[in-house]
Chain A
């Protein structure tokens, strides 16, 4: 089963929840826990899980390469490219790789067969082990705009490992946890789609509430069951709780603001390592999720 952890607002504790849930579940030797950090713009989970990376591969997108010998500057490639990634002048073809989505329209429609595609690296993907947890994350290269192709590649790893148990059995011991990027746009959708459940992490402030409402709209659109983890639950006001109650969204876990947790976080130490009572709380969180699916 796939459980993703998301939030509209950044910095509410997505990585904290995903990491601690992974560590709590992995204590059970019967369980096979996989962790995918899909926040490829700013991946942080490795700072807490400290995986030993065993393999690394480049993530490329195909971008067009023009054969000057064959090209007659007819302009068909620029015409079919909706992303404006190709411009054709009288005697030159300009390719803007940062705009290219790698759809292949130019290659397919070039009447002179003058276009081939060449891989262009936009980031890397790394895999390894954090204790018994199978860990994968990606990293968008500096200056590259497009995160979704890297996220797609990370998620393919999940599929290959067969995350759903036999007969789609949700109580199966294969659990894939996805740490999603913040927001509500394409990188988030790419990360959470196909999840069996999404945990939305928020905080009880007007910003937290506002962005939670947006995230809930995303999950409704994607038809993914979801629940809320309320982090720093004793700061701010009670409007998140009121909203959840009114909309029938379960609050699965509330974590108070705790100086000890905050300091440990700042050093890259997960909650379950400093306060063992949280191991049980995260296991209960998992049990609640199982019941909701």
Chain B
């Protein structure tokens, strides 16, 4: 089984547009969307949901007001400033709460109970390009890393059931918990960057994370013609770092047009951009076989 993850560090560099196009180009694979707090891949793949599951993670406290003596012990031990006294009554701010459960353990009258927290949903869907495993983290919820892991695990199950050898994952931005959960153990990380100072800065950080976790990394420069000097800098840096730049994609409004139509760009037009993405896929295919 091969798992290819498409990531970027900086958001909005074109991860999802490229992932959707690869989905349209490649047969016998499972797609996974690990950008669980702002998942967009489904907007281009138009899935029909086959299975829907609740995602429970972590615990949330609730106070039994009948039992609570407002002794303040819970407030004393909470390190997340999540417990306050308002008009003499102890109250919990669930936004600040990390769900550690210390308050419930310390309460001398057992007035606090920890309950399972429903914090999202995940789905197995069918699309015209093959199966898609995706998820939606509840608004303002935590545990995105666990949900990412669940998406990856189920993408593997779906791949096995279909005898597919390939999983392609649309990753989250950033370098923290959801990105680490997406990246660790993958066979290849494809980093999509752009020739801006922010793009370069974030590329360097995300590549270091991939190297830290021992994942082979390649780079795509999207909108490379916006600043040729910066694109050259990226290529130089990649050379020094021993990473291949497997493709460069022109800036073209056709990408936005395809997006508005809800289509992967390779299905929308036969432009230069389409050819560039096809070449990129050829390179990825060679690298993983």
What is the total of A-B residue contacts with beta carbons within 8 Å? 181
Judge if A20 is at the interface, Cβ distance under 8 Å.
Answer: no
Judge if B196 is at the interface, Cβ distance under 8 Å.
Answer: yes
Judge if A47 is at the interface, Cβ distance under 8 Å.
Answer: yes
Pairwise interchain contact B102-A105, C-beta atoms closer than 8 A: yes
Pairwise interchain contact B256-A235, C-beta atoms closer than 8 A: yes
Pairwise interchain contact A184-B95, C-beta atoms closer than 8 A: no
Q: Which of B141-149, B161-169, B239-247, B277-285 contacts A (4 or more CB under 8 A)?
A: B141-149
Pairwise interchain contact B100-A82, C-beta atoms closer than 8 A: yes
Give the interface of A toward B (CB within 8 A): 8-12, 15, 41-42, 44, 47, 80, 82-83, 101-105, 108-109, 140, 142-147, 181-189, 193, 205-207, 210-211, 214, 217-218, 221-222, 235-237, 262-263, 265-268
B137-160 CB contacts (< 8 Å) to partner A = 137, 139-142, 144-145
Pairwise interchain contact A108-B100, C-beta atoms closer than 8 A: no
Q: For the complex, count residues of B whose C-beta is within 8 A of A.
A: 64
Pairwise interchain contact A182-B173, C-beta atoms closer than 8 A: yes
Judge if B118 is at the interface, Cβ distance under 8 Å.
Answer: no
Pairwise interchain contact A142-B140, C-beta atoms closer than 8 A: no
Pairwise interchain contact A146-B10, C-beta atoms closer than 8 A: no
Give the interface of B toward A (CB within 8 A): 8-13, 16, 37-38, 40, 43, 58-59, 77, 79-80, 95-96, 98-102, 105-106, 114, 137, 139-142, 144-145, 172-180, 194-199, 201-202, 205-206, 208-209, 212-213, 226-227, 230, 253, 256, 259-260, 262
- A40 to B, closest residue via Cβ: B176
A–B complex contacts, Cβ < 8 Å, 11 sampled: A10-B8, A10-B10, A10-B12, A145-B177, A184-B140, A189-B95, A206-B40, A263-B226, A265-B198, A266-B194, A268-B196
Query: Given A206-B43, A210-B43, A221-B140, do A185 and B37 touch, yes or no (CB 8 Å)?
Result: yes
- Which residues of the partner chain B approach A188 to less than 8 Å between Cβ atoms? 37
Assembled-state Cα–Cα distance A268/B200 (Å): 11
Closest Cβ of chain B to A151, distance in Å, is 11
Which residue in A42, A218, A263 is a CB contact (below 8 Å) of B10? A42
- Which residues of the partner chain A approach B205 to less than 8 Å between Cβ atoms? 41-42, 142
Pairwise interchain contact B197-A185, C-beta atoms closer than 8 A: no
